[in-house]
Amino acid sequence: MELLLSTLVAGFVAGTINALLGAGLVAVYRGTRIINFGHGAMAMFSTYIFVTLVDHKVPAIDGFPIIAMLVGVLFGIFLGVLIDVAVMRPLARHSYLVRIIATLGILYVLQSLALVFFGGNSRGVRPIFPRGGITVGGVSISNGQIGVAVTAFVIAAALTYFYNNTRFGTAIRAVSNSRDSAALVGIRVDWVTAASWAIGGGTGALAGILLAPTLALDSYTLTLLVIQGFAAALTGRLENLGGALAGGIGLGVVTALVVTYTNQFTVNHPQSWINLSHLDYMVAFLWILGLLLVWRKPATTQQQAGGLLL
């Protein structure tokens, strides 16, 4: 029973990270109708900035690296705006497919730059939150797990309020539906798309920073987390933050259960031909495939602008 409970807790926390990554994808998609496959690479590069600052002893407040985190998130925001201005804005009149392919180019460029500036070796990341925690029902929950979960829920709530209860959130929805119509009623389309990319870059950076202490940081691991983020975002049909949060948590719990109990099985029944090192990605791909099959619509309804999936 303790194994099950601890697995559920770990899966829940991992799921909140998936949800944060998914929120960044949702932010970009809601404002631009573009699926940003470079999202994981943006998070990775911003996380490297954070880790580099921590390694260079940037001052912390009561042991909490708030300054380094703030700079990392601000860099993610800057990176999002830069990508919009330098890449996406010049391609605004091109097809959605061209712009989606451009995000793959962004992934490659950022990954290559990370190798140049930070090297290819894995780097350990010290814990962000203070050591210690609480015990519930015989299961230990660390301060780090609590901090990650609370942060994810606060960000999700703030973004939901922003989109549903502010004029700028309404403007984002208007631009998402039609750039030309939004421009005709006086909405600054360029500002809206830049803000969408900024939100995506900032939330992705925060997710990477929160996740880094549990991983060996390198230019590939965080980049590939776009798969889990996409699975979470797709659960909310790339537009609903509540759905992305639920999808991220659900995916995290299912993945943790599958990985834990499959490992238990292989320990008791060792098979040399079984490689479970990337089982979490397989679960995410199956999750995505299942959603695509469940939410299929007739071809005539898939010809809306940006409606690649829905």
Residue 272: the pLDDT is 56
Does 299 score more than 50 pLDDT?
Answer: no
Band (260; pLDDT cuts 50, 70, 90): confident
pLDDT in tens, 84-108: 999 999 998 888 899 999 999 999 9
The model's pTM is 0.88
Q: What is the mean pLDDT of residues 64-69?
A: 91
Highest mean pLDDT: which range of 114-118, 221-225, 237-241:
114-118
Give the residue, 286 or 277, on which the prediction is more confident.
286
CB of 133 within 8 A of CB of 70? no
Angle, vertex CA 306, rays to CA 203 and CA 94, nearest 5: 100
For all residues of the chain together, what is the average pLDDT?
Answer: 86
Residue 275: the pLDDT is 63
d(CA 89, CA 86): 7
pLDDT in tens, 187-204: 888 899 999 999 999 999
Q: What is the mean pLDDT of residues 270-274?
A: 61
Report which of 78, 85, 83 is spatially closest to residue 38, judged by C-alpha positions.
Answer: 83
Residue 303: the pLDDT is 42
Residue 271: the pLDDT is 62
Alpha carbons within 13 angstroms on the beta-carbon side of residue 254 total 17
d(CA 47, CA 69): 9
CB of 223 within 8 A of CB of 107? yes
Q: What is the mean pLDDT of residues 173-180?
A: 78
Residue-range domains of the chain with CATH: 2-302 (1.10.3470)
